[in-house]
A and B are shown apart, each in its own frame.
Chain A
Amino acid sequence: MQTQLGNWRMVLPAAALALAACGGGADQANTTTNNQAESVQSSEASTGPAQGGNFVIATPGEPITFNELYYQDSASGDVISMIHAGLIYIDESFEVQPFIARELPTISDDGLQWTYHLREDVKFHDGEQLTAEDVVFTYSIFNHPDYSGPRVSDFELLDSVVALDPFTVQFTLTEPSAKFATQAGYGILPKHILGEVPVAELGDYRAYNVERPIGAGPFKFDSWTRGQNLVVRAFDDFFLGRPHLDSITTRFVGDQNAAILLLQTGQADYVIVPINEVETVRAIPNVQLESTLALRYDYIGWNMRNPLFQDRRVRQALTHAIDRQEIVETILNDNATVAHAPVSPLSWAYNDNVPQFNYDVERAKELLAEAGWVPGPDGILVKDGKRFSFEMLSNDGNVVRRDIGVIAQQYLRQVGIEVRPAQMEWGAFIERISPPNYNFDSVVLAWGLAIDPDPQAIWHSSEIEQGLNQISYSNPVVDALIDGNVSIMDQAERAERLGKVWYALAEDQPYTFLYYPQVFAGLSPRVNGFTQHARVDVFKPYQWWLAQ
């Protein structure tokens, strides 16, 4: 249990601070590596999927808006995946697949012009045909001076978008960007409904955004009783054919425990299971427990503004002194894999050719001695009259991170370092570690990664001032490697460049990379056709079906 208060919508410790947390299908990848997503085995072979039924999702998070251009929370994202459709989507192996587009875009040789050909059988829920005009309308909003939503920076490189004919759209960029392939996943908005709404008012245009969203996705919005449930119904004219289910009900519950109880009593079909509740759910008879590696890594970040952590040998010693395999086995019940670099094994950019600093107390002591730290009278290391003692901060209510703090305290004690684990309420915690405060020694946190592996936002020194580089890491070599990596259109070439970034970061150890955790989904025995996606909770809901 995450504690009663651990799971508020914006405060989800697991998803929180997720880099590019959102964007639905709007992130990218091109090849498959190591994906562990599995489909539920079904009895489909004999009779084919059963039609009909109401599928119930139980979740503590309540959505805010159903307009993909403005949402920032995963609860809204889940509903958006049901009612909207984009030009492309990212499949469970992180490959870009055409959706409303007939095929992947044709890209001009200079990487500046991206042309999408649309299917001609796509209808909105109100029966209107979806055409290139709707696509142009949707994507023109991002660059409109009055657009106040969160996606401006994603489209800074977009110069123009035009309809070449009713079913062909051409995007023109100001400079080539490999990342752009991913940005074509936004749910297309109906121009015939929103065309007259001034862009400045679009974010708060509730008549569409919350009361009556119309998309081209597999399910139509039906009703939302706040605090209780939200219902969507099958859209008969969905371009891939009517979904098997009649409806999906998202039921809003008090916390994750309540959701699991509903699964246990057969009143819910699908629940996201937090990692510390996995064993509880495993013990429930008949429940299907699905898992896949999350697109995420957990870490301990060392604040480089603090003189204690400025020497690379010291940071390497800190990692050597902590037995991460033990943490994975005891705290996470083996539901994770030890991490050595800031890139997920799921990504095409993953490269395990990086220095590893495995558990080795003697080596840790050597490195600390080299760096000039000698044992003081109380056994704690001392250098220039300063004791090696610091605080390790994490967010309140996250049991796993609290335990990591305590275990790290014991391990580091062995090499003569004093750790004081501390926890703070999420809001206060984030404010303390973020610019312009940087007020922490070390921090236990996690990054939910974007599908595009661009390391800019976390590791570039230009992100210290205002960005997500909270530990103030600055390495000119890494900066140079990051600069321009997104303009490399050839994936193999880009992977090679990024491999050098991972190597440099692993060697520098600005973080102690802890592990790659798994994500779990609990499904009722009657669920079939479910595909788990490491990044999206509601993935291909039109393939779900319920055994009768």
Chain B
Amino acid sequence: MAVVEQNLPSPETERPIGFGRLKRKEDARFIRGQGTYLDDIRLPGMVYGAILRSPYAHARIVSIDTSKALAHPKVAAVVTAKDLETLGLAWMPTISYDTQAVLAGDKVRFQGQEVAFVIATDEYSANDALELIDVEYEPLPVVVNARKALDPDAPLIRDDKIGQRDNLASPTWEAGDEASTDAAFAEADTVVVRDIIYPRCHPAPLETCGMIADFNPQTGQLDIYNGNQAPHAHRTVYAHVAGLAEHMIRIMCNDIGGGFGNKVPVYPGYVCAIAGSIVAGVPVKWVENRTENLTSTGFARDYIMHSEICAKDGRITGLRVDVIADHGAFDSTAQPTKFPAGFFHIVCGSYDLKASHVKVKAVYTNKAPGGVAYRCSFRITEAVYLVERMVEALAVEMGVDPIDLRMNSFIAPEQFPYETTTGWTYDSGNYAKTMRVAMDIAGYEDLRREQLEKRKKGELMGIGISFFTEGVGAGPRKHMDILGLAMNDGADLRVHPSGKAVVSISAQTQGQGHETTFAQIVAEELGIPPEDIEVRYGDTDRSPYGLGTYGSRSTPVSGAAVAVVSRKVRDKARLIAATMLETRPEDLAWEKGRWYVKGDPEKGAMIEEIASRAYSGEPMPADMEGGLDAQVIYDPPNLTYPYGAYIAVVDIDPDTAQVTVRRFIAVDDCGVRINPMVVEGQIHGGLAEGIGIALMELISFDEEGNCLNSSFMDYLIPTALECPDFELGETVTPCPHHPLGAKGVGESPNVGSPPAIVNAVIDALHETHGVDHVDMPCTPARVWAAMQGHAEPPQ
């Protein structure tokens, strides 16, 4: 641990206010049990909704009889697709320009699909009434395997779409260059081919999804209480779906019990709650149970990847990837409009390749819709997993150390800004330096010696490497949007006459600590103590428009907005200070919290004095309005490109094939760290999720489309016993185009850790058992099968 400490900033180098390890402001309510999560809210007259879901993965609905449910004394209403049709709410747009049934009318297309919505005076009765609804189904042939969905005789899933004749969800999408990639492979001296699956998993935040909709028929005002990651975008969608005036919708997200991408989309349950409140005229609460969360709300990944990688003269030179993306029954993948495979084409990784070529096609299957970015920037997780597994396989084939191959192939520091063969412009990096820090913390050479010793004794130990580069902080409006909305974020800063301030942001915390971090940014820029800065968010009536928090975009986009708005205020303060000090603005210099006269530092004005002046009756500079406020919408010029070197050390029980992550070393370069404590906390959390994905978490189906992992009894999430004492380090390569030099970090550990762990499993088993690939999750059964020579991919 001593090495780790050396890589952390010492207390002396941290500033007293502004950036540094400030304890979180939001903790005060949470440690007292005083958070306000959705289910904690009870409005007068509120009723409760519950959803009847399809037991079949594919079936025609012959009839729905709600009469017995309606006769239940505590039931207020039962809503079906027919009722929604009269309101124009039977179908809703997904975030990928597909349409999704809010309640199924003629057909169900996945197990767990929404069929009817019951409203009752209490939750228990609402759930009782679900059992009183009679639905007659006529089962149809089911397809759950994405490859089989492409068979010409596969059942057609989306017959609701005019002109749809197959199960392709989108045309094949390509990046890179086929001809030059062919040439790179033709001249290569080593080629490795692998079929690699990134299986379906689920973000599973501890708080499930839910909503309270409160429509006031007198005023036409719709108040929504919800825990979503993008309240402003949701409001725009509801305006389009429900046909309500956008300015009459107010979304209030209070405390959110985790999101991880699961709370980005709009779900049918939300629309049902809104429809229910419009119909019933009272507030309607709907909160899903855990099974509903796992089986119907946005899953993640489900990428079936075929890949080839090649090398020449000890360097990686080319990469070819062909992907089938399984989108489930409706395409509701979370990604910018122009990127049908998200940012998957960042698959070239951290390497200076000669060429690459990527093809992705997406299919419909009789599985729940989703494709959300589970702590991920739009398919980057799949991309990093693939390239890091392929590089590992290449190193094994070449008989070289996997770190040496990476070191030989890295993009060099002087090559930045670097344009990749698939069109990304990486902003900055010194990859070899970060890799070496990780090797030092791990004691890499010693680990290799230990592994050899253990192997001699029949013990199975593996060392796995992953080096990732991510593109986060979506994104520049010239390149990307979601449903036509630019991926920008607003910030509104008001410094009050007392010098205390409120900054309103469009980012939406789900636990990331925005109330602290964003106050620190203002503190750093204006010298106002963080405790005197209130951070407002989550209420569309009290925050500026912006696209919210996912894809590690809070600090890259919203954080930049807050820095820029603070600087605008500082610039205005300079002009006011010049009037106060009877000098010219250009004769003033800034130190934290104060403008002073150059050459006469005693003469100056504190920010609170300037604020007081701005609202007083004293004269302002010519042509300047009073007050000390500013507002910005920040449009990032590029994505930011955080990266990191991860090393996993695993032990495998030769008798049970149980994989234990003994050590995990994570060295992240996320640029400048605003609050290193929060950054490290984010890394710890993402690493735990990565361990879950690599070893435990899986959403799978049987041939009939029954989901086999529909509760925490069988969707396994790591506990404290599966997680090691994570060892962190850092390097800092500031982002050249971000006002604070920050790059974003939230998803890096989730992106970077699964390949390190799987590579470690292969590393443990390749020499002794000839294993060259195991798909995730590396459960004892799957690893054992691989050790016996017949590894089975997950279904």
Do A and B come together as binding partners? no
User: Residues of B at under 8 Å CB distance from A?
Assistant: none
By a beta-carbon cutoff of 8 Å, the part of chain A in contact with chain B is none
